[in-house]
Structure 1
Amino acid sequence: MHVENEQNPPAFTVAEICAGAGGQSLGLHKAGFRHVVAVELDETAAETLRQNLGAPVVVGDVADPKVWEPANYADVTLLAGGVPCPPFSAAGKQLGTSDERDLFAWAIEQIPVIRPRAVMLENVRGLSAPRFAAYRQRVLDRLEDFGFVGEWKLLNASDFGVPQLRPRFVLIAMAAEDMKYFRWPEPDGRARTTVGDALFPLMASAGWPHAEEWRRLANDIGPTLVGGSKKHGGADLGPTRAKAGWAKLSVDGRGVADAAPGPDALPPSQVMPRLTIEMTARVQGWREEDNYSFSGRKTSQYRQIGNAFPPPVAQAIGESIRAALLREGAPRTDIADQTDLHDPVYRALSRSEQPLSLDELVAAYNDGSVAAVQQRLAALQRDFELVIVEDQGVDRYQLGEFRGFTGQADHWRHGVIARERNKIS
């Protein structure tokens, strides 16, 4: 796919951060958005973007002002991105703000700089876990500070014709007058696409006589593709559990093949086939008509695909954003002057000028359990400073600084990025 730059500025523009190889980018293009800039750390993925999007691509750490100036893209329609997943992934250590790759909070701080009409940020399901309730609450509260209303939703790619589950946790935010017209996309109504149906033409393309037999065996959606990072992962389909899931669909997940099975290849009951790069792209939601090519060697290509946001999901969300900005449909009545409450303990602490006791926090939590509040405090303390003061024999809690990176010039993240630039993805 190649999209020519238009001479006249399009009505719906997007600045995309952490753009990867362009899964989200392609979906947004199909939804009617055009890039004014795409920022990506990995040079090979950036080359993929250049080859396929025809949009300005900037290479480097998105939080480095020497790489790009967000203010130069003020008043873009949409600020979008798939900020790095490892800080929140259950497959990792869920370090949150202690992971140098955490850019979610930084991205939120760009809203008053770029002044977009809408924001779309996606990440792994792990960000929806109780561990990050305070983190999410801070995001929503910062959005409120900027005059935006934010909503989170967990979407499964399999609901949009993609032959894998791939749950993604998506944040959409707009001003209230636009947000009341936003509705999350519904499943497209088509029968769920199985791996066998999606990949049969490719499996049969080199003359494998057992392709139809394999199609019948691969009669379900696949596990989530795991692209890994420069620190971990290679050209295979993921950790042990993922490989076992692929084996149930008669796919050998221990590597990626260079070509589809040929006329002399054994039946899948004897030797399970491996997926090619083109097949993994199809599993991730790229379609034949996209005519999309990936730069680099096989491991890099697979990593780009495995870490991508499925284009059909991005397209569906993009169309919902576009409809909201056009004020299509009847306005919603369920978002009037309120945002979802993810962590009442954080909310109480952040809005109190005085330290609060456990009893006061229990009352704010509406849970009636000291143990539940203590669990919240323990999780909160991983991403925020928590000051405990004794007042007449009673411990009181006061919220300190957010530990995360929001653009501070003296933050420890800068040193890590400088030392390990070639290992971070």
Structure 2
Amino acid sequence: MAAPESRKPFKVVEICAGAGGQALGLMQAGFTHELAIELDPTAADTLRLNLRAKYGSALKQDSASAEAKIVDGVITGDVAAPAVWEAAYNANVAMSGDFDLLAGGVPCPPFSVAGKQLGAEDERDLFAWAVQQCDVLKPSALLLENVRGLSMPRFAGYRQNILDRLIEMKYVAEWRLLHASDFGVPQLRPRFVLVALKEEFAPYFHWPEPQGEPPTVGETLRELMGARGWEGVDAWVEKANDIAPTVVGGSKKHGGADLGPTRAKRAWAQLGVDAMGIANEAPGPGADFKDAPGPKLTTEMVQLLQGWKPGEWQFTGLKTSRYRQVGNAFPPPVAKAVGLAIRSALLKEGEPVDRDVDAAHDPIYRALRNADDFVTAAQIARATGLELEAHELERRISLLSKDFNIEIRTNKSGAAAFKINGFKAFVGQADHVRHDLFSQNKSKIS
């Protein structure tokens, strides 16, 4: 007798999987991994260790191509490299239309306010490429998460291009800024999340609702902080009476592990935490911190602040690598909440709702994209209904030119006219500059 539809095992292929924060959340939401792909070898080892513990002999057989191989369901390598997908096809995984969800946490630096926000011009940018895979792999749903910076006006045109491309591929997509603290995680951690579903499933998707107040840092870490008999733990718990600022995993371009930039360090100090590094162990008897606001956290403590429960995920590598794996993760409780919402939509549970399939993030980009030729400011105003001052239109065009090739010329009447001649982002082009830049900087990419 067939299993009820509600118990159907939904299959996920995860790209840029990191050490598995999203993987664990999706497992808990009822998804089974067909394949995970990760560039960093140590994070990939962490994935293998935990997927093997979860799936055991049910994992796909190891398979190899000329330059990549699957070991325990994980491929270590550049997700955009043809050899990676050749290995997947050899193992009969990630076949077009043969799995339910394509998910990933593609690199954040192209959009981070802590960086240069190069967007489509950053060789690490894989967001547009990941979206393009819906046309190749044809999953029923897509889940991508990134930093809050992608939600800002700087990337309005980029977001509009993504939405419009998904519409062309017959998906209905929506962005949402989610805060980890709304899902029981004792940390602010805003993440900008894109969910897209095929048209037949989209009416059944509902964003997860907040789940109440999270515990404080002190409540979360009391047991670990006092594990070695530190007498000051009760007073410290009382001081650490709020949620944490966003944990920052950092990148290979910077030094050792710490808890973030200056502003974050001040917030940690108010909670009685020394954010200047990561400790090897909890404080012991007699420990005092006269020259610091309090004890440093261990990697195990940061795991709890990211939403992992004690002992449910094992990390490989040395301390700095383990911390970066933890700090860069998508918190499992948030991934679980979104995963459950996607699963419910794929089962067509609940009441369907009409979704806005034509959301406008950047009407100026739309006006330029829809034009057959150069358009003037007056034509843009008529197309968008926006009456923009010349300097504001110039600013908006300047923002668009960071991610798109914009041609500007002066027409016969002396007015400037504009035309979009292409998206700068990598979406799989064999001649894209990304290939050379990625090869040159691979050791620093995280």
Shorter-chain TM-score bucket reads over 0.9
**Matched letter for residue 111 of structure 1:** C
Q: Specify the alignment match of 1:37 in structure 2.
A: 35
Distance (Å, rounded) in 2 between the aligned partners of 1:322 and 1:268: 51
Gaps of 5+ in 2: 1-6, 53-71
- Higher mean alpha-carbon deviation, 314-323 vs 374-383, is at 374-383
Q: Specify the alignment match of 2:181 in structure 1.
A: 158
- Higher mean alpha-carbon deviation, 383-392 vs 235-244, is at 383-392
- TM-score, normalised via structure 2 length: 0.90
For residue 432 of structure 2, give the secondary structure of its aligned residue in structure 1. coil
Query: Percent identity, aligned pairs only?
Result: 54
Distance (Å, rounded) in 1 between the aligned partners of 2:234 and 2:291: 12
**Matched letter for residue 195 of structure 2:** I
Give, in angstroms, the shift of residue 404 of structure 1: 0.8
Q: Specify the alignment match of 1:61 in structure 2.
A: 78
Contact preservation (8 Å) 2:279, 2:297 = yes
Give, in angstroms, the shift of residue 417 of structure 1: 1.8
For residue 180 of structure 1, give the secondary structure of its aligned residue in structure 2. helix
For residue 396 of structure 2, give the secondary structure of its aligned residue in structure 1. helix
Distance (Å, rounded) in 2 between the aligned partners of 1:155 and 1:394: 43
Gaps of 5+ in 1: 1-8
Give, in angstroms, the shift of residue 419 of structure 1: 2.0
Distance (Å, rounded) in 2 between the aligned partners of 1:195 and 1:375: 42
Q: Specify the alignment match of 1:423 in structure 2.
A: 444
Write out aligned runs for 1:77-88 (5 A). Answer: 77-88=100-111
For residue 317 of structure 1, give the secondary structure of its aligned residue in structure 2. helix
Contact preservation (8 Å) 1:39, 1:58 = yes
Find out whether 1:109 has 2:132 as its counterpart. Answer: yes
Contact preservation (8 Å) 1:199, 1:282 = yes
Distance (Å, rounded) in 1 between the aligned partners of 2:123 and 2:177: 24
Write out aligned runs for 1:135-154 (5 A). Answer: 135-154=158-177
Q: Specify the alignment match of 1:3 in structure 2.
A: none
- TM-score, normalised via structure 1 length: 0.94
**Matched letter for residue 368 of structure 2:** L
Q: Specify the alignment match of 1:261 in structure 2.
A: 283
Q: Specify the alignment match of 2:403 in structure 1.
A: 383
Find out whether 1:198 has 2:220 as its counterpart. Answer: yes
Give, in angstroms, the shift of residue 268 of structure 1: 8.3
Give, in angstroms, the shift of residue 372 of structure 1: 3.0
**Matched letter for residue 15 of structure 1:** V
Give, in angstroms, the shift of residue 269 of structure 1: 9.7
Q: Specify the alignment match of 1:357 in structure 2.
A: 376
Contact preservation (8 Å) 1:227, 1:234 = no
For residue 385 of structure 1, give the secondary structure of its aligned residue in structure 2. strand
Q: Specify the alignment match of 2:55 in structure 1.
A: none
Write out aligned runs for 1:160-179 (5 A). Answer: 160-179=183-202
Give, in angstroms, the shift of residue 420 of structure 1: 2.4
Give, in angstroms, the shift of residue 361 of structure 1: 1.1
Distance (Å, rounded) in 2 between the aligned partners of 1:88 and 1:284: 21
Equivalent of residue 94 in structure 1, options 117, 125, 128 = 117
Distance (Å, rounded) in 2 between the aligned partners of 1:248 and 1:299: 24
Distance (Å, rounded) in 2 between the aligned partners of 1:416 and 1:399: 25
Indicate the RMSD between aligned Cα atoms, in angstroms: 1.7
For residue 263 of structure 1, give the secondary structure of its aligned residue in structure 2. coil
Contact preservation (8 Å) 1:151, 1:339 = no
Distance (Å, rounded) in 1 between the aligned partners of 2:185 and 2:148: 17
For residue 288 of structure 1, give the secondary structure of its aligned residue in structure 2. coil
Distance (Å, rounded) in 2 between the aligned partners of 1:53 and 1:122: 21
Residue 173 to residue 135, structure 1, CA distance change in 2 (3 Å): same
Equivalent of residue 313 in structure 1, options 305, 329, 334 = 334
Give, in angstroms, the shift of residue 263 of structure 1: 1.8
Contact preservation (8 Å) 2:274, 2:292 = no
Find out whether 1:410 has 2:431 as its counterpart. Answer: yes
CA deviations over 1:171-193 (Å, ceiling 9, x no partner): 0001222111101001113x322
Contact preservation (8 Å) 1:154, 1:170 = yes
